[in-house]
Structure 1
Amino acid sequence: MIPDQIGIDLLRTYVAVCRQGSLNRVATQSGRTQSALSMQMRRLETLLGRQLFQRTGRGVVPTAEGELFLGYATRMLALGDEAAARLRQADLSGGVRVGLAEEVATTALPEALGRLRRGYSEIRLDVVVEQSLALGRLWLEGELDIMIVPTSAVVADAVTTWNVELQWACGLDYVPEPERPLDLVAFAAPCLWRRRMIDTLATAGREHRITFTSQSVTALQAAIENGLGIGLLPPESVRPAAMRVLGAASGVPKPLPVQYGLYARDRRAPVVDAAIGVLLEGLPVAPRT
């Protein structure tokens, strides 16, 4: 039996730590101290009588029992969100056209869209995953109701913005050689990340060559994990079991900050506002207005 002291907030925090793989990262995003978050996770382990995490050099990963509890916690949160949404606006209906930048479409946002679909069964979702510049063109043509892209991809006022630090990542066994050009794994052109990557390396005087390109962040992750080169990834896309983050001692520049925004039309239907609310809950980092 689950102890009564395990509330929704504790479950959400646990799921966030499992997904991010870092107590410090979740603490920063939630505005809490790492020590307070560690104490909260130890309390959860005490309540359940099981060790849920094991520490690694790159953060924390769930134990086998932690993985089991993660599945249940995710389902409990999804069911609670669905019930709350149904009770709030059970009769809400209509279509919502959503544009997601490729690099954010594989993190927390698909789960948020799933919650939206379960909570508002009459909503018709039309989701487009594309490169940021292509989404910017669709936005200007009036083809999207909501869009999540880097703020540099479109000239418009965002509902909210937040910063993401892109990390230089490589496979666990990959070692850059200072005397040789860097092998780069990058999105296919045109791409804002690719442009920033190349410009930054050029400014630093670091020779490079692009060895792998794709429009899929999943393909880029696979290429990096298998040693084809280094690439820029948001923290939540760096899989600690198969990748590591390169520091300045490896001859790469500092992490690159990128500002993202959630955009919506000024005049919009209630169904779009409902979608915005759910998406804001699913952003990979705490939004900053």
Structure 2
Amino acid sequence: MLDITKTAQLTPDLLRSFLVAADTGSFTRTASLVHRTQAAVSMQMKKLEEDLKCVLFKRDGRGVSLTAEGEILYRYSTKILDLHDEALSAVSGPKLHGSVRLGAPDDYAMKHLPGIMQEFAVNHPQVQVDVFCDDTPTLAGMLDNGKLDLVIATDHAQTEYSTPLELSWILPERMDPSEMEELPLALFHPVCCYRENGLKALEKAGRKYRIAYGSPSLAGLLAAVRGGLAIAVVTKDTTAKGCRHVLPSDGLPPIKSVYIDLRFQPGNRSEVVSVFGGFIAKGLGIVI
């Protein structure tokens, strides 16, 4: 019979601390995130290494990084914790049933939804989620007509459930806009906050421009930028190979921020929609 007193115990609490330490590269940062002291986190990781009889972290100055053995444990830890959380949800979690219809621009869907939907599915596996991608005006109309339950949208002004979204110019790595008399732009189609704020910034600064490319999708705009053909307006956290964000020496004006907001169908918010909306709000950093 297996003697569990002599076997390493990969408890959820221990594995969560390990994953946070691996992701942050700092025991001090991990301590604040898992609500323990730095000494307690260090003791946890030391015990884990002793139990497994291997070194999991390389100490690099004030930080840490994973060894080869640590990388292996990291992959297994994520699987173990996913199954652990799924089991808890299946046995004792809320038994939500039904469906929810979400609308989101495709760039938001690609950037934000994978993690949100994965976490929601683990906790509420019996809820069907339908996602519709389009521009904000179209999605807003579908919401008002009862075809969607909630929408992730962009707005010029702060709304009830929103958070600021900083915008930036993105351009080909070797383009020097300071030497260009007329700026070639790749923009989202009309009635887009990104487009409107970018054009207003250029007009206020007195910079000449021409709209060389248009697309309803971020991928379409970045194709023009990556091809060395145009400059686009994107969020500050958007990156793409062969592209760079604006520098002070480029002489381009700052762009006013917009807001990413969460909108619910007026007067019709079921429990499923409310719970799913809470997951989205958490993922976007919106307080509801």
Report the TM-score when normalising by structure 1: 0.71
Residue deviations 1:226-251 (CA, integer Å, cap 9, x gap): 32211111133224x53321023211
Determine the C-alpha separation between the residues in 2 that align with 1:74 and 1:202.
50
Alignment correspondent of 1:256: 256
Call closer, same or farther: CA 1:128–1:84 in 2, change over 3 Å.
farther
What SS does the aligned partner of 1:195 have? helix
Q: What amino acid is aligned across from residue 246 of structure 2 in structure 1? A: L
> 2:102, 2:129 within 8 Å by CA — same for their partners in 1?
yes
Picking from 110, 125, 131, the partner of 2:129 is 125
CA-to-aligned-CA distance 1:156-191 (integer Å, 9 cap, x gap): 963x21111011112322222434211111112232
Q: Distance in 2 between matches of 1:242 and 1:76?
A: 38
Q: What residue is the counterpart of 1:58 in the other structure? A: none
Distance 1:235 1:194 in 2: 15
Match of 1:106 in 2: 110
Between Structure 1 and Structure 2, how many residues are aligned? 259
Q: Which ranges in structure 2 are unaligned for 5 or more consecutive residues?
A: 1-7, 34-40, 50-54, 61-65
User: What's the C-alpha RMSD, in Å, of the aligned pairs?
Assistant: 4.2
Q: 2:187 is matched with which residue? A: 186
CA distance in structure 2 between the partners assigned to 1:70 and 1:204 by the alignment: 50
Whether contact under 8 Å (1:94, 1:122) holds in the other structure is yes
Separation (CA, whole Å) in 2 of partners of 1:135 and 1:108? 17
Give the 5 Å matches for 1:194-273.
Answer: 194-239=195-240, 241-265=241-265, 266-273=267-274
- Which runs of no fewer than 5 residues in structure 1 stay unpaired? 33-39, 53-61
Q: 3-state DSSP class of the match of 2:110?
A: coil
- Tell me how far apart the structure 2 counterparts of residues 164 and 173 of structure 1 sit (CA, whole Å): 27
Q: Deviations over 1:176-208 (max 9, x none)?
A: 243421111111223222122112211111111
Residues 11-66 of structure 1, C-alpha deviation per residue, up to 9 Å, x if partnerless? 36865x79xxxx9xxx9xxx99xxxxxxx9xx99x9732489xxxxxxxxx99999
TM-score by length of 2: 0.71
Aligned-partner Cα distance in 1 for 2:202–2:9: 52
Higher mean displacement: 249-258 or 64-73? 64-73
Q: 1:108 to 1:131 in 2, by over 3 A?
A: same
The answer to whether the 8 A contact 2:182-2:208 is kept is yes
Q: Which has the larger radius of gyration?
A: 2
Distance 1:63 1:206 in 2: 52
Structure 1 residue 148, shift from structure 2 partner: 0.9
CA–CA distance in 2 between the matches of 1:2 and 1:201?
Answer: 60
Distance 1:256 1:8, change over 3 A: farther
Question: Secondary structure at the residue paired with 2:128?
Answer: strand
Residue 254 (structure 1) shift: 1.2
Deviation at 1:86? 3.3
Looking at structure 2, the residues matched to 209 and 63 of structure 1 have their Cα atoms a distance apart, in angstroms, of 52
Candidates 19, 34, 58, aligned match of 1:11? 19
Matched AA of 1:115? E
For 1:77 and 1:225, locate their aligned partners in 2 and report how far apart those are by CA, in whole Å.
39
Give distance in 2, aligned partners of 1:245 and 1:64: 34
